[in-house]
Amino acid sequence: MTPQSVLKEFFGYDRFRDGQEELIRQILSGGDVLGIMPTGAGKSICYQVPAMLMTGITVVVSPLISLMQDQVAVLREAGIPAACLHSNLGQEAYFRTLDAVRSGEIRLLYAAPERLLTDAFLSLTDSVAVAMVAVDEAHCLSQWGQDFRPSYLQITEFLAELPRRPVVAAFTATATQTVRDDIRHLLGLRQPLELVTGFDRKNLRWIVERPSKRYDALLRILKRNRGKSGIVYCISRRLTDEVCSKLCADGFRAERYHAGLSAEARTRAQEAFLHDDAEIIVATNAFGMGIDKSNVSFVVHYNMPKSMEAYYQEAGRAGRDGMPAECILLYSPQDIRTNTFLIENSDSENEMLSEEARKNVRQKDFDRLHKMVQYCNLTDCLRHFILGYFGEKAPTYCGNCGCCLAETETVDATVPAQKILSCVYRVGQRGRHCGSKMLCDILQGKDTKQLKEAGYQTLSTYGLLADVSRMHLEHMVSILISRGYLITDTGQYATLSLTPKANAVLRGQETVQMALPQRDLKQTQRERRLAALPDYGVDEELFQALRHVREKLAAREFVPAYIIFSDATLRDMCSKRPSNEEEMLAISGVGKYKMDKYGEAFLAALEEYAASAGSPRGHFPSGNGSQAAQ
């Protein structure tokens, strides 16, 4: 077999995506690889395809049980012999899996890093040739990564224990240059092909909101996405429980997921979400690294994450089928204090490191938090900032983020910018610091108890911007933060300080242009503008009929519906309307194994729909259904 024939027969795709073929070719020639590919770009294909062509097993190192189980289920449904070893397996199942590997029944074996150096696993590798070790979520190796896991350092020792060094393939969606250098060094990659396919996912719409009432904002988002599958990330277990309870009381089918629940409760919640029994899962970041549910239409961050890497990875769980999806972050300065607390109390997670190394990790975490705060205060293109963070050049206008879609007018804001910066300076002269809210109150001349107790009404900047609307003033402050004139302290109160960059503006040596929101644009207009996601133009009635077939098959097989076929595959069926096996095999995502197992049921549904529409088989009335799904 060839890589192309494996791709078609088992995965149902006619061609590789960007970067996949080059990485596979390098692996099959015996070379190491480092693939940096965004979520949904097909990283797993890069090691799953060569695993079917190499002599010996492929060991896939993966950080979470749920991720391993999910990928193994997908592979088995495609007809690929795969298994996983994890702590939830009973002793009998564990040793039965080892026997299956020894007898040659398994091609891909998934394992957590903690399993690699156990006597049972090392004994297995003495009797079975390991052709490749694929390291999934490889950023976990680096202490400079956003999700450092000391257990990942055991991979290097495991490689040294093997009788023969296998091909080593490392993959991640989020890695800065520093993290990539760390991965190469720690894994001892030998002249690897390093491929960065790009971080942009054009189908995702990036939005940051700063609501006064977060739960009300969440309800608006969920109502416009009613009936769709989505994730709501919360910063704490308590908040996860609280938000989930409120959503259930408001009539949403929601489940919760966090590390404080029992393993059984977490599994139950995840299964309900994967099987579409729950439309929403409310979770902490403990949920689903690498979860492959393809039809997630929106991801809401109820709180700001502590890094761009974490945000990009979590938000990237939306739109994995290529369909339009929303990634919305609900920001409040209070999130800075919470994340600061989490960073300062994270030493217990890094007990394997020296005190000096722990300090370095903590400082890097704070640096990333500053960047995250900067993102949340942007009024310029969000996509441009995200891609720039990961070292990728991008246009300053994308047309598909909350900032680019906002109705704005560009003005010379040099004078108000000077007044804002001057106010921060005057407060600092008194040995004090203030946050964004207090700063705006001072500049607008508010008569509040807190302001009077601090004596801020006597500042020369008090009331200097009383004629500016609160909305515009808050945007101006956000712009000055996002452009680096102001920095938000990561201490208890998230106060503001001047940076050296502010000096040129204060001295009149630099002008400041700002794009400010139009005052007369109503909230309903903004909502409509953000909600107008692209329409892929397929026959919705036929699509729902095919989804119904898929649901019945999934219930029969006891697997999530997306494992049978993704929404993208069903939409391709709606567009191309196959009427026989040959035409069905031309559908993206339909391989020979799945055609033999499920093809007849979908062909029957298509024939029945054609008959009900009064058309001969294979010929459908014109309309929405005639437009191709992209």
Q: What is the pTM of this model?
A: 0.74
Taking CB atoms within 8 Å and a gap of at least 24, the contacts of 236-244 are 236/284, 236/338, 237/284, 239/302, 239/303, 240/282, 240/283, 240/284, 243/215, 243/218, 243/282, 243/302, 244/282
pLDDT at 347: 61
Whole-number Å distance between alpha carbons of 629 and 615: 21
Q: Which residue has the tokens 């988002």?
A: 221
- Return the bridge partners of 134, or none: 60, 169
Sheet holding 193-196, edge to edge: 82-85, 108-111, 57-61, 130-135, 167-172, 33-36, 193-196
479: tokens are 């712009």
- Return the bridge partners of 409, or none: 516
CB 330 within 8 A of CB 300: yes
The shares of helix, strand and coil residues in the chain, as percent rounded to the nearest 5, are 50, 15, 40
214: tokens are 């977060």
Mean pLDDT by runs of 10 across the 630 residues of the chain is 93 91 96 89 92 96 82 90 87 90 94 91 92 93 74 92 95 84 94 90 92 94 92 95 97 94 88 90 79 86 92 89 91 87 72 75 86 88 92 88 83 94 95 92 94 93 93 89 86 83 94 76 52 62 91 88 88 92 92 92 93 58 35
User: Could you give the C-alpha distances from 24 to 27, 47, 49, 60, 191, in angstroms and in order?
Assistant: 5, 7, 7, 15, 15
- Return the bridge partners of 109, or none: 59, 83
pLDDT at 274: 87
Contacting residues for 434 by C-beta, under 8 A, at least 6 apart: 424, 427, 442, 454, 456, 495, 496
E-assigned strand segments in 248-295: 254-257, 280-283
Helix (H) or strand (E) holding 410: strand 408-412
Provide φ and ψ at 102, rounded to 5°. -65, -35
480: tokens are 């000055």
Structural domains in the chain, sorted by start: 3-196 (3.40.50.300), 204-404 (3.40.50.300), 408-520 (1.10.10.10), 540-626 (1.10.150.80)
pLDDT at 532: 54
In this structure, are strands 229-233 and 193-196 parallel, antiparallel, or unpaired?
unpaired
pLDDT at 485: 94
The string of DSSP letters for 49-75 reads HHHTTSSSEEEEE-S-HHHHHHHHHHH
Whole-number Å distance between alpha carbons of 160 and 56: 18
Whole-number Å distance between alpha carbons of 199 and 393: 10
DSSP symbol at 629: P
Whole-number Å distance between alpha carbons of 537 and 624: 6
Q: Which residue has the tokens 């329409």?
A: 535
